[in-house]
Amino acid sequence: MSVIKTTQLNKIYNPKKIPVHALNDVNLEISEGEFTAIVGPSGSGKTTLLNIIGGLDNPTSGEIHVGGEDISKMSGNKLIDFRRNNIGFVFQSYNLIPVLTAKENVEFIMLMQNRSGTERASRVAELMDATGLKDKLDSRPSELSGGEQQRVAVARALASKPKFILADEPTANLDSKSAQNLLDIMEKMNREENITFVFSTHDQRVIDRARRVVTLEDGRIVSDITPGN
Query: Is residue 58 packed enough to be buried (19+ CB in 10 Å), middle (13-18) or exposed (0-12)?
Result: middle
CA dist 109 and 137 (Å) reads: 16
Check residue 132 and give its pLDDT: 86
pLDDT of residue 37: 96
The residue segments making up the domain with residue 66 are 2-225
CB atoms within 10 A of CB 97: 12
At 224 the pLDDT is 96
- What confidence score (pLDDT) does residue 28 get? 96
> What is the per-residue DSSP string for 183-209?
HHHHHHHHHHH--EEEEE---HHHHHH
Query: What does the alpha-carbon distance between residue 45 and residue 33 come to, in Å, rounded to a whole number?
Result: 23
For residues 176-197, b (16+ Cβ closer than 10 Å) or e, as one string? eebbebbbebbeebbeeeebbb
User: What CATH number is attached to the domain comprising 211?
Assistant: 3.40.50.300
Q: For residue 87, count other CB atoms closer than 10 A to its CB.
A: 23
Total domains in the chain come to 1
Q: What is the pLDDT of residues 86-117, one digit of tens each?
A: 999 988 788 899 999 999 999 998 988 888 99
Low-confidence ranges of the chain (pLDDT < 70): 228-229
Q: Is 94 helix (H, G, I), strand (E, B) or coil?
A: coil
State residue 229's pLDDT score.
Answer: 60
Stated as kind and residue range, the H or E segment containing 146 is: helix 146-159
**How much is the pLDDT for 173?**
80
Q: How far is Cα of residue 47 from the mean position of the Cα atoms in its chain?
A: 10
The whole-number pLDDT of residue 92 equals 79
Model pTM score: 0.89
